[in-house]
Amino acid sequence: MLGPIEPDAVGQTLTHEHIHMDYRNCFVHPTNKDHEKKSKQPEITLGNLGYVRQNPYSHVYNLSFGDEDVATMIEEVAEYKRLGGDTIVEVTTTGIEPDYEFLKQVSQATGVHIVCSTGYYLGHTLPEDVLNASVDALVEEMVHDLKIGRNGIKAGCIGEIGCQYPIADCERKSLIAAAKAQALVGCPLIIHPGRDEASPFEIVDILKTAGADLSKTVMSHLDRTFISGSGKLLEYAGSNPTYVEFDLFGIEVSHYQNNLQFDFPSDAQRIQEIKLLIEHGYEDRVVIAHDVHTRHRLLKYGGHGYGHILENIVPKMMQRGFTKEVVRKILVDNPKRWLAF
């Protein structure tokens, strides 16, 4: 955020977070009148926090943050720093309101390295000029953000590139452009797959054809994409060289609004899935985060905050047989290798 740093300065890293974003264009309309009324409540309180936790995408106020004041987000990120955090990859892209200047202020105030991103989110969130742009035009814009920057602030990553399943035409275009831009610059790339076990495989096929460097690519949200026990996680890891990301740590509600057929895993289950990957030799390709993208997950609103992994998950990993060396790979070495270019 404040300029290039040496890889060894990256330190403990969260590879998929949001610090400033507007997710209101992903609002899920409630299915009953009681929820309709609750969805419009102008704040989060102890009285409605239970509703918000169960229905995070059906509460308008919950779907944006960073817009109130920068001081709140400085406090949130400062707690991550206090717990030993060094770097956050902030993956807000066009469609959900990235703000490089805002991130610069947070980075300056906290001392946390913030890697901001360029690229495009889900098709239905994108403005008309992006929807109508050519692949070459999208490549040019991303390369500009990476090499020249916005008001001198350069992006250090492409993505999260938003994809649904089956992938929409505009998302395929965005994905191809991201692959081409990555090939030109050699930078890290991170993908938001659709909510189907086939989606990561579909995306990898498109990326390969477009010339992406899969070894510099993260496939996000696998804890809400692959069903535990289906075998798809190991199949994916065994057939593709991308990093595999478990990035929804802190969400402990099994009800998943965006895919009602899928039971959301607990943190304990996430840890077991990661342990499975390690047992099969994939410890060099695992990265983790919280994907904080709603207010109720911030400390201010009764949530776990950006420090949850360091404060609660790392000790749990150690209790479940992870070695210090493996934890360091997940939090330091793997992100450092992915981010360096």
| E-only strand ranges, 73-201 | 87-90, 113-115, 117-118, 157-162, 189-192
Rounded to an integer, what distance in angstroms lies between the CA atom of residue 341 and that of residue 119?
17
Q: For the chain, what's the residue count?
A: 341
Judged by DSSP in three states, 192 sits in: strand
pTM of the predicted protein model: 0.97
Rounded to an integer, what distance in angstroms lies between the CA atom of residue 249 and that of residue 246?
7
Q: What is the CATH number of domain 7-339?
A: 3.20.20.140
pLDDT of res. 244? 98
pLDDT (tens digit, 9 = 90+) per residue, 38-65? 999 999 999 999 999 999 999 999 999 9
Q: Please give the mean pLDDT across all residues of the chain.
A: 96
Q: How confident is the model at residue 125 (pLDDT cuts 50, 70, 90)?
A: very high
pLDDT of res. 57? 97
pLDDT (tens digit, 9 = 90+) per residue, 141-168? 999 999 999 999 999 999 999 999 999 9
Does pLDDT of 2 surpass 80? no
Rounded to an integer, what distance in angstroms lies between the CA atom of residue 58 and that of residue 132?
30
pLDDT of res. 1? 57
Task: Give 202-207 contacts, CB < 8 A, sequence gap 24+.
Answer: 202/165, 202/166, 202/167, 203/163, 203/167, 203/175, 204/240, 204/242, 206/167, 206/172, 206/175, 206/176, 206/179, 207/175, 207/179
Is-contact 203 191, C-beta < 8 A? yes
Does pLDDT of 283 surpass 60? yes
| DSSP strand pairing (21-22 vs 64-65) | antiparallel
Structure tokens at 44: 């989060």
| DSSP strand pairing (87-90 vs 113-115) | parallel
